[in-house]
Amino acid sequence: MHLATQRFASPTTARGVSLALIALVVLVSPAAPAVSEVSALQSATGSKIAFVSTRDGNPEIYVMDADGSNQTRLTNNPGRDGAPTWSPDGTRIAFASSRDGNSDIYIMDADGSNVTRLTTDPADDGGPSWSPDGSMIAFDSDRSGSSQVWRTNVEAGNWGYNLTQLTEDHPLGRVNNFLAWSPDGRWIAFEADRDRDDPEIYVASSVDGTYQQRLTFTRALDEVPSWTPDSKQIVYSTDVDGEPQNGNYEIYIMNVDGSDKRRLTNSPGQDSNPTVSPDGKQIVFDSSRDGVTEIYVMSIDGTNQVRLTMSGTERTGNDRGVSNGNPAWSPF
């Protein structure tokens, strides 16, 4: 995995699997959305971005307005907190934390209060992603022996947590992780290195992990997929440009069937961890283009790239080890 990716990095009671997720559909190739003419900082006014920063010594979760203002720390403990992801109603944030030893999934209110622990397995759990009805969380875990995609109810209710493994272990220890649940509830996108030693982007049914389809076919590292709000496109990070596994990651977008792949960024270093704004007009991502990982926003077509965070060096004169990354856009 490339350096910009951090695995600590990101309702109603469910009866087993939510009925909204039962119907399976065949993937179709949609038309690309129209490019917005608005500036990069106008369309998401009022929404928030959660992110991870090491500015105070170790990885903690922060939140800021969509224009980069009002940066506020939400977590404060000696462990590593990361991979924030918003609940569909915007009131809670799920995240991964090592505060109790190994990495587990936790949930807190959007202001950082009422922290509760969701998983308690001695293995490492990370990379949570909410179902669109808020009743479940998918995450990656190595509890089966290798990192795989799992799903659990958020509340036990009358049916228990219904912990379900969605991807299978491989004899060679191949992994399936860094996942994202589609906004329409039908699919989970994830990266997998099952076919070779380089990760590719796949999708699978969120109900039981079946109907798996591979979307990228390169010798590059194709990673950290995320969805557009209409579930018709996927943004991701790849170093496909240049020699295989060259380390220069860029943000790409493709249709849900893997067609019409388009490059959105072109900079030195690593552009990674993209997520799309709730109106579908912008992408927030992290980039090391200026020597340290910071958070940027751009229009959905790759134009109007604006930096939102400043490193510890620029803010306080601290060393260049400070980074800001793993952004996640709120649903409103």
Q: Is residue 22 part of a domain?
A: no
Distance from C-alpha of 136 to C-alpha of 155, rounded to nearest angstrom:
8
Nearest to 93, CA basis, from 62, 71, 47, 123 = 62
Please, what is the Cα angle at 284 between 283 and 289, to 5 degrees? 115
In one-letter notation, the amino acid at residue 36 is S
Q: Indicate the DSSP class of residue 19.
A: G
Residue closest to 251 by CA, chosen among 289, 212, 291, 213: 289
The span from the CA of 301 to the CA of 183, in Å, is 20
Average pLDDT score over residue span 42-61: 86
pLDDT value at residue 247: 85
Residue 23 lies in a domain: no
pLDDT at 315: 52
**For residue 68, how many other CB atoms are within 10 A of its CB?**
18
Three-state SS for 134? Answer: coil
Mean pLDDT, to the nearest integer, of 58-68? 97
**Residue 17 in domain:** no
Instruction: Identify which has the larger pLDDT, 23 or 80.
Output: 80
Number of structural domains found in the chain: 1
Asked if residue 41 belongs to a domain, the reply is no
Query: Mean pLDDT, to the nearest integer, of 154-160?
Result: 90
Q: In sequence order, what are the residues at sequence separation of 6 or more whose Cβ sits closer than 8 angstroms to the Cβ of residue 316?
A: none
pLDDT at 93 over 80: yes
| Residue 203, domain member (yes or no) | yes
Domain carrying residue 77: 48-329
Rounded mean pLDDT, 153-167 = 93
pLDDT at 234 over 70: yes
Mean pLDDT value across the chain: 86
- pLDDT winner (highest mean) among 169-173, 310-314, 315-319: 169-173
**Six token digits for residue 146:** 């290798």
The whole-model pTM stands at 0.86
CB contact at 8 A, 153 and 142: no
Specify whether the CB–CB gap between 4 and 273 falls below 8 A.
yes
Q: Band the pLDDT of 22: cuts 50, 70, 90.
A: very low
Q: Is residue 10 part of a domain?
A: no
Give the lowest-confidence range in 184-188, 278-282, 302-306, 314-318: 314-318
What is the domain-level CATH number for residue 87?
2.120.10.30
Whether 2 maps to a domain, the answer reads: no
Residue 9 lies in a domain: no
* pLDDT (tens digit per residue) in 201-212: 999 999 999 999
Q: Across residues 289-302, what is the average pLDDT? A: 96
